[in-house]
Chains A and B, each alone.
Chain A
Amino acid sequence: MPNWLDVNPRSGVPIYVQLVEQIKHALEVGILQTGEQLPTVRQLASELTIAPNTIVKAYDELANLGLIESRQGIGTIVVANLDGRLHAQQQEALFQRLQVLVRDATHLGISAEVLSDRFAAAKKQFYQQQYEQGG
């Protein structure tokens, strides 16, 4: 039973969205590995005291993302990131945050030059470390 799953029913975020996000995160950080079996809908409903339909919704979403699959007689299995889909999504999300960041900068009245300077400094800091680590 996943002890890393923590849903908050009282949040404004729907429970199934929380489940999807947490399972995705577990995949990202390696808590869940390819080939591992997820709990059945019933087990998870009992574990978390939430509606089975909610879990079905979450599992459907994860299946649509290509992250899990249902196998006859075995249960629900984590499959590999198909075609690096998860990674591509994370990249996309990051670039969207970048857009928001730059937009917010304009609202704050930060000039393009100042923004570029700051960006270059950050790049130097983090990508430099990468070079030093041989990455």
Chain B
Amino acid sequence: MSEEKSTSIVPGNNELRPAHGQTAAIEIHDLVVKYGSKRAVDGLTFTVPTGTIFGFLGPNGSGKTTTIKTLLGFRQPDGGSARVFGYDIANQSLQVRARIGYVNETNSLYDYLTIPQLCAFSRSLSREWNQQVVDRYIEVFGLPPREKVGHLSKGMKSQLALCLALGSNPDLLILDEPTTGLDPLARHEFLNTLVSEVAAEGKTIFFSSHILSEVEAVADWVAIIRVGKLVLCEELDHLKQTQKVIKLTYIDLPPVSEIERLRSLPEVMSLAQEGRSVRLIAHGDLDTLMQTLQARPYALREVETVDLNLEDLFMEYMKESNNGR
């Protein structure tokens, strides 16, 4: 991609460029967060580039929410560090929170207030506030503008939470499982607003989810966390292009030495054999791998490459006992 064309493809808005060399929105380094003796976050390190839609994935209990709470300053880290737009989360918490809009699935949104009252309340907590933006999104979502918050459905509360989070004009939106409880139509509306309005403004969106399909549709980057540790952090496109299943069919039953040879190849992440059929999960330089496979002493009847989607990749990484990438 040629950098010179950046402003011309999207007139006047550089911020849609992938974040090569730009400031990181979030930088997490060796983060440790403990509950008692248990490490909910266990030496986590990754970076969220500015202007991206970043999907934070992991099974329930993997440390996603703890990570988010720590970024927001609700928890102090027990080790390591993190920065949001350069501000330290541990001792520059106010500056951090001023740049963030937070949407939580269990937002306590003061059920007894009406929406206008809640807006006024949120405004009072924010350094800058744009009620017109909030009103616009309330309308986009079709929320009843004068309703009591307590009368809204769970899904509508999520949508309202997003509206309010945008009112303070944050540079970074952090969403924790935001579409839980939303029916498919409402979920689509929510995601669509995120991509066509929020991301298009150049804001960074960091959202945790265990719904792979929606992450797959909108995320530029994904990070997978498991038992408090990072499994991978990569551009989604790059992940899909460099990780494939390769199915080999040998003419004769391959000997153990051949299987060991395959396993030892750097591009081979995992291998399963059933008789003459071998299934590899491969990553990295697939061209080199294909050449190596072709130049084998044991004759292959067939070599087939299968693309992996996010769900396939996720399952594969969850199976891995040693997460060596």
Which chain A residues have a beta carbon within 8 Å of chain B's beta carbons? 9-17, 40-42, 45-46, 49-54, 56-57, 59-61, 63-64, 70, 72-73, 75-76, 107
Q: What's the Cα separation between A57 and B20 when bound, in Å?
A: 13
Among B199, B217, B220, B307, the residue within 8 A (CB) of A13 is B307
Q: What's the Cα separation between A15 and B219 when bound, in Å?
A: 11
Docked-complex contact B200 and A14, CB < 8 angstroms: no
Docked-complex contact B308 and A49, CB < 8 angstroms: no
Which residues on A sit within 8 Å (CB–CB) of B241? Answer: 14, 17
Q: What's the Cα separation between A14 and B308 when bound, in Å?
A: 10
Docked-complex contact A57 and B237, CB < 8 angstroms: yes
Which residues on B sit within 8 Å (CB–CB) of A107? Answer: 301
Docked-complex contact B192 and A64, CB < 8 angstroms: no
**Known contacts A9-B217, A10-B311, A13-B240: does B188 contact A49 (CB below 8 Å)?**
yes
Among B192, B309, B311, the residue within 8 A (CB) of A49 is B192
Docked-complex contact A63 and B9, CB < 8 angstroms: yes
Among B213, B219, B308, the residue within 8 A (CB) of A51 is B219
Docked-complex contact A46 and B51, CB < 8 angstroms: no
B195 within 8 A of partner (CB): yes
Docked-complex contact B311 and A64, CB < 8 angstroms: no
Docked-complex contact A54 and B220, CB < 8 angstroms: yes
Number of interface residues of B (CB under 8 A): 39
Q: Please, what's the 1-or-0 string for B192-208, where 1 marks a CB less than 8 Å from any CB in chain A?
A: 10011001100000000
Among B2, B191, B220, B244, the residue within 8 A (CB) of A64 is B2
Docked-complex contact B192 and A53, CB < 8 angstroms: no
Docked-complex contact A10 and B9, CB < 8 angstroms: no
**Known contacts A10-B216, A60-B1: does B53 contact A53 (CB below 8 Å)?**
yes
Q: What's the Cα separation between A60 and B3 when bound, in Å?
A: 10
Docked-complex contact A57 and B1, CB < 8 angstroms: yes
Docked-complex contact B196 and A42, CB < 8 angstroms: yes
**Known contacts A53-B52, A56-B16, A63-B5: does B236 contact A14 (CB below 8 Å)?**
yes
Docked-complex contact A53 and B220, CB < 8 angstroms: yes
Question: In residues 173-188 of chain B, which contact A (Cβ within 8 Å)?
Answer: 188
Min Cβ gap A22→B in Å is 16
**Known contacts A41-B200, A51-B218, A53-B18: does B307 contact A12 (CB below 8 Å)?**
yes
Which residues on B sit within 8 Å (CB–CB) of A75? Answer: 11
What 8 additional pairs, Cβ within 8 angstroms, besides A46-B192, A46-B196, A49-B192? A12-B307, A49-B191, A49-B196, A51-B218, A52-B199, A53-B18, A57-B237, A60-B9
Which residues on A sit within 8 Å (CB–CB) of B310? Answer: 10
Docked-complex contact B200 and A45, CB < 8 angstroms: yes
5 closest A-B pairs by beta carbon, nearest first, are A12-B307, A46-B196, A9-B217, A14-B237, A70-B8
Docked-complex contact A49 and B5, CB < 8 angstroms: no
**Known contacts A12-B240, A49-B217, A51-B53: does B307 contact A42 (CB below 8 Å)?**
no
Min Cβ gap A15→B in Å is 7
Question: Which residue of A is nearest B52, CB measured?
Answer: A53
Docked-complex contact B220 and A12, CB < 8 angstroms: no
Which residues on A sit within 8 Å (CB–CB) of B285? Answer: none
**Known contacts A12-B307, A13-B307, A52-B200: does B18 contact A57 (CB below 8 Å)?**
yes
**Known contacts A41-B10, A50-B218, A70-B5: does B196 contact A15 (CB below 8 Å)?**
no
B34 within 8 A of partner (CB): no
Docked-complex contact A50 and B16, CB < 8 angstroms: no
Q: What's the Cα separation between A64 and B2 when bound, in Å?
A: 8
Question: Which residue of B is nearest A54, CB measured?
Answer: B220
Q: What's the Cα separation between A54 and B200 when bound, in Å?
A: 11
B295 within 8 A of partner (CB): no
Which residues on A sit within 8 Å (CB–CB) of B17? Answer: 53, 56
Min Cβ gap B233→A in Å is 16
The listed residue with most A CB atoms (<10 A of its CB), out of B5, B52, B191, is B5
Question: Which residue of B is nearest A61, CB measured?
Answer: B1
**Known contacts A10-B213, A49-B195, A50-B217: does B307 contact A76 (CB below 8 Å)?**
no
